[in-house]
Amino acid sequence: MREFCVKVPATTANLGPGFDCIGMALQLYNSVKVELTEDKKIPLEIISRNNFHIPADETNLIYASIKRFYDEAGIGNLPPIRLTQDDKIPMTRGLGSSAACIVAGLIAANEISGLKLKKEDLAALAAKIEGHPDNCVPAIMGGVVVGAVTNGQLSFIKLYTGLFEQNNVSFAVCVPGFELSTELARKVLPEKYSRADAVFNVSHASLLTAALANGDLSKLSAAMADKIHQPYRSALVPNMTEIFEKANKLGAIGSFLSGAGPTIISLFTEHDFEKKMQSYLDTLPGGWQIFNLKLDYNGAVIE
Ligand code: HSE
């Protein structure tokens, strides 16, 4: 029986102004053990190592993504398979848990089929499945990734930024106990924006990318401002504005809503920031818990 394991990082999308185009991988992982069982009587078996309620049939997102890879590649039937999921990325919290499943499925299918597609090709397919590139692409490639879709074709660049490592920047990933569906968090956004708001976000997303590329920590705080999604989503994340303000007072370099939320991430270097922030969050309703994470540079790997 052949077996291998796929490990995929959590991701945070947008980083403030980079709505649907900038994302970053974090050192928190989902793993899935893939076993080719050769047992034709049980074509599919799905187990959750954490006893989570995950779909155990063909609707399972990892399995559906394996299937999608086979369909897109136009290759034959899948062999009998057992998937054992070990999920550490909180679900429905804006940390790319769905993207991690899609990526795990595509990496697994690439390995099972022996097609040996490049990570770049898998990233394009993953972005097509998810509808935007800002979670799946960093989940595959690692690091901070900027992506754009032109006439249906994905172009992306992984920024080789040493900014966070050189300045010992950590991410206080503040995860609440409540969930927020991406569907709802996208529904509250307007169909149209003013030219002033469009210019605001283009300029800030560009400044953010340039600051990351040049390693300029001093511009990050200003660069993380946004007028496209965060102001509209604040109504769905109780105390979001207060949390941003408190993080700022405690010395955060910058804060943003992680993807569609409700998780909020603050960048910090002060050693006691996390402790002070957690004490503050404990005074709020919502069951907020901080994960202190670093940037993941490698993206998805087979182990
Ligand atoms: N860019 C997406 C959003 C990420 O903010 O809606 C969530 O999938």
Mean per-residue pLDDT, 43-48? 93
Residue keyed to tokens 């069951």: 287
Pairing of strands 18-36, 81-86: antiparallel
Condensed to tens digits (0 to 9), the pLDDT of residues 137-169 reads: 999 999 999 999 999 999 999 998 899 999 999
Q: Give the mean pLDDT of the chain.
A: 96
Q: In what order do the strands lie in the sheet with 289-293?
A: 254-257, 264-268, 170-175, 289-293
Residue of 12, 15, 19 with the most ligand 1 atoms within 8 Å of its CB, for mutation = 19
- Give the sign of the dihedral formed by CA 260, CA 105, CA 33, CA 120: negative
Distance 135 CA to ligand 1 centre (A): 8
Sequence-ordered list of residues with C-beta below 8 angstroms from that of 149, at least 6 positions apart, any chain? 127, 133, 155
Q: Which two tokens stand for residue 120?
A: 């770049």
Condensed to tens digits (0 to 9), the pLDDT of residues 221-249 reads: 999 999 999 999 999 999 999 999 999 99
Condensed to tens digits (0 to 9), the pLDDT of residues 60-80 reads: 999 999 999 999 999 988 999
pLDDT for res 39:
86
Banded model confidence at residue 284, pLDDT cuts 50, 70, 90: very high
For the chain, what percent of residues have pLDDT higher than 70? 100
Q: Give the DSSP letter string of the chain.
A: -EEEEEEEEEEEEETTTEEEEEEEEEEEEEEEEEEE---TT-SEEEEETT------STT-HHHHHHHHHHHHHT--PPPPEEEEEE--SPTTSSS-HHHHHHHHHHHHHHHHHT----HHHHHHHHHHHHSSSTTHHHHHH-SEEEEEEETTEEEEEEE---HHHHTT-EEEEEE-SS---HHHHHHTS-S---HHHHHHHHHHHHHHHHHHHHT-GGGHHHHT--SSSHHHHGGGSTTHHHHHHHHHHTT-SEEEE-TTSS-EEEEE--TTHHHHHHHHHHTSSS--EEEEE-B-SS-SEE-
Condensed to tens digits (0 to 9), the pLDDT of residues 88-115 reads: 999 999 999 999 999 999 999 999 999 9
The CB of 182 under 6 Å from ligand 1? The reply is yes
Q: Which two tokens stand for residue 252?
A: 């955060």
Mean per-residue pLDDT, 212-225? 95
pLDDT for res 161:
82
Residue of 11, 12, 14, 227 with the most ligand 1 atoms within 8 Å of its CB, for mutation = 14
Atom of ligand 1 nearest to the CA of 186: 6
Mean per-residue pLDDT, 4-9? 98
Mean per-residue pLDDT, 45-51? 91
Mean per-residue pLDDT, 191-203? 98
Distance 129 CA to ligand 1 centre (A): 14
pLDDT for res 31:
98
Banded model confidence at residue 271, pLDDT cuts 50, 70, 90: confident
Mean per-residue pLDDT, 267-282? 96
Domains and CATH numbers, the chain: 2-160+297-302 (3.30.230.10), 162-293 (3.30.70.890)
Distance 275 CA to ligand 1 centre (A): 29
pLDDT at residue 52 above 90? no
Atom 6, ligand 1: which residue's CA is nearest?
260
